[in-house]
Amino acid sequence: MTDQTKIALITGASRGLGAALAEALAPEYHIVAVARTTGGLEELDDRIQAKGGAATLAPMDIADPNAMATLCRGIHDRWGKVDLWLHTAVHSSALTPAHFIDPKEWAKAVNVNATATSVLIPYIAPLLGESGHAVFFDDPKAGDKFYGIYGATKGAQMALARSWAAETERTGPRVSIVEPAPMPTAVRARFHPGEDRDALTSPADEAARILASL
């Protein structure tokens, strides 16, 4: 692997859009795939290898700051950079009325959707430098009925991303926010059980569209 190898870090890479983006980027990029699900990462690695690409698997919890520090130090020591960071990881809390919110579920969503993002941005920004590119994925549910936990915490993540994008507009790294089309993912299934999934856009097609737009 040469110094010219392009590195794509994908947080939330084991399934859904994250996995589809990883497959679409390989073999042009070496994929650093982060997710808690080891089996899903191994299956992704098999698919990437089958198309001639290569991946480094990181079965880690993005809500663990020590694990993320270890990950970013490892990336720095091995490659010294990240060219592209795609942050697809999210905790999809069950839909519930605001007056029935479970404090434990709220805390988990805050940790994964908001706090982890606030930790990852300072860790990954030095790896991106001035020329790297970070991409976040919006899902505007804030204020929708029953979406109190998910909408608030996902909204907090997007607020951080938008602030970072404004702050780095002239200096880099480039920060983009995209809104994916509805896809038949596990997150979508939790929010819309019984939905006709055949009518939704496949993650592979949506990954191709997003990467072309970037």
- Residue 134: strand, helix, or coil: strand
- Residue 135: strand, helix, or coil: strand
Write b or e for each residue in 183-201: b if 16 or more Cβ atoms lie within 10 A of its Cβ, otherwise e.
Answer: bbbebbeebeeeeeeeebe
| DSSP line for 31-45 | EEEEES-HHHHHHHH
> What band does 1 get if pLDDT is binned at 50, 70 and 90?
low
Q: Please tell me which residue, 187 or 127, carries the higher pLDDT value.
A: 127
Q: Please tell me which residue, 94 or 166, carries the higher pLDDT value.
A: 166
Q: Residues 38-96: pLDDT tens digits?
A: 999 999 999 999 999 999 999 999 999 999 999 999 999 999 999 999 999 999 988 99
pTM of the model: 0.95
Answer left, alpha or beta for residue 143, where phi above 0 means left and psi between -120 and 50 means alpha.
left
For residues 156 and 115, is the Cβ–Cβ distance under 8 A? no
Instruction: Determine what percent of the chain is predicted with pLDDT higher than 70.
Output: 99
Q: Are strands 6-11 and 84-87 parallel, antiparallel or unpaired?
A: parallel
Separation between Cα atoms, residue 100 and residue 92, nearest integer Å: 16
- Tokens for 195, please give them: 């939905």
Q: Which residues pair with 59 in a beta bridge?
A: 35
pLDDT at 184: 93
CATH assignment of 6-213, among 3.30.420.40, 3.40.50.720, 3.20.20.140, 3.40.50.2000: 3.40.50.720
Q: Sign of torsion, CA 85 36 57 179?
A: negative
Q: Which residues are within 8 A (CB) of 89 and not within 5 positions of it... i.e. 6 or more apart?
A: 11, 12, 18, 34, 35, 62, 112, 116
Q: Residues 136-162: pLDDT tens digits?
A: 999 999 999 999 999 999 999 999 999
**Taking residues 167-174, what's their average pLDDT?**
98
Separation between Cα atoms, residue 17 and residue 205, nearest integer Å: 10
Average pLDDT, rounded, for the chain: 96
> What band does 192 get if pLDDT is binned at 50, 70 and 90?
confident
